[in-house]
Structure formats: structure tokens, C-alpha cells
Amino acid sequence: MPYSYETDGASIYRESFAIIRREADLARFTAEEEPVAVRMIHSAGMVELAPHILFSPDFATSARAALSDGAPILCDARMVAQGITPARLPADNPIICTLHDAPVRDMAREMGTTRSAAALELWRPYLAGAVVAIGNAPTALFHLLTMLEDPTCPRPAAILGCPVGFVGAAESKEALWHAAPVPCAIVRGRLGGSAITVGALNALASRSET
């Protein structure tokens, strides 16, 4: 039996985004935010994601400006780092994930926390003006918030907080939303994850939708 299916990548993207814009309630997003929300929904395969997406008023503009200026993208998980499409980045931005760096295992033991949280200590040299993308570990997001309570800690330009799951994910995102140390975005509740995070990043990196 021959299978009949769309084989043109650009057409698949266009049709997907048209379906999302037809089915999802996107009215509350600004023109800056809407394409980011659309791509997050696309990555999740769920128009039902829309009401869970929250942007602080300056998140999309801050993140886009930082990326245009060459800001590094700091990722908590290798799946996030791998999913970002380098060709979409406006300034050949460095994509950094320190989770698997050699010292992290020992650091986590000494700090009494997860490797995901300990790995963020290695972000300090890159943190000023960076775009942070946390798509996996609630402990990473909680640790970042703790780091930023120290006024001498460098400030990122924007934080995308999308850890996923059943323990700490919802709580860590509420903590980010309420502390809001810099412009931020979250997916409220349990939903989130590397694919949604990558979708947002790829939308912030370029306005191309194919």
C-alpha cells in the first residue's frame, strides 16, 4: 500500500501553524509573543497548552534583543541544547550546557543537590545578559533563583522557565513568576519540557516560520 503524505518541510510547517492559529485561543498574546506561543504549541502537539503560557511584558523583546546582540543561550539539559536550530540564531550565539562537565558530579555531592542544580554554578561566567532556557529540571530553576538572590550575581537578559513534571516543576515556575528577577516566561503547571523550550527558543531566534 502506498502512503500519501506531505513531503515538503516548509508546507508542513505552514499548515501546522495555520491549524494552531485556527484552533488555539491566542488573543491575549502580543505580536511579539504570539509566534513564540505558536511554536511552543507546535512542539507540544497541543493547542490546549495556550492558556498555560505566561510571558512577562518585556520577555519576548528582551530575549530577542539579547540574541541579536550575541547573547549565549544557557540550557539545563542536552536535549534543549541539541534542539535549538543553529541556522536560526541571529548572531551565531553560543549554546551552553554544563550538565555533563567533569566537575558537576562532585559539585552536586558537595552542595547536597542534584547535578542539574550544581551545573548552574558553572554558568556564572556566561550569565550576564544571557538567555536562560530551563526545560527539564525544577531543581535547576530553583537554584538559579537562589543564585539571583545574591545582588552580586550577574543578571541574565531573560529566563525561559519550562521544567516539566510532577515534583517541583509547577512550584519552581510559580517561584520564578513571582520573584521575576528579570523578564521571564513560564508554562504554568506540570507541562513543559525540552521540546516546548526549544520551540520557544527557535521562535525567539528567528521570525521565519518555515
Which residue in 55, 142, 182, 183 binds a second copy (CB under 8 A)? 142
* 108 CB-near residues (< 8 Å, 6+ apart): 114, 115, 117, 118
Q: Which positions are catalytic?
A: 42
154 is an interface residue for a second copy by CB under 8 A: no
Which residue in 31, 87, 125, 149 binds a second copy (CB under 8 A)? 149
Which residue in 37, 131, 160, 198 binds a second copy (CB under 8 A)? 198
**Neighbour tally for 11: CB within 10 Å:** 11
Distance separating alpha carbons of residues 78 and 96, to the nearest angstrom? 9
Nearer to a second copy, 69 or 171 (CB): 171
Nearer to a second copy, 134 or 195 (CB): 195
180 is an interface residue for a second copy by CB under 8 A: no
Give the three cell numbers for residue 64.
530577542
Question: Is residue 73 classed as helix, strand or coil in its secondary structure?
Answer: strand
181 is an interface residue for a second copy by CB under 8 A: no
Question: Is residue 184 classed as helix, strand or coil in its secondary structure?
Answer: strand
Q: Choose one: 53-61, 63-71, 88-96, 172-180; the region binding a second copy (CB under 8 A).
A: 172-180
CA 91 distance to own-chain centroid? 18
16 is an interface residue for a second copy by CB under 8 A: yes
**Cell 529566563 found at:** 159
Count the site residues for a second copy by CB under 8 A. 51
CB 158 within 8 A of CB 182: yes
> Which secondary-structure segment (H or E) carries 117?
helix 115-118
Interface residues with a second copy (CB under 8 A) are 1-3, 5-9, 12, 15-16, 19-20, 42-46, 78-79, 82-83, 112-115, 117, 138-139, 142, 145-146, 149, 164-169, 171-172, 175, 179, 189-195, 198
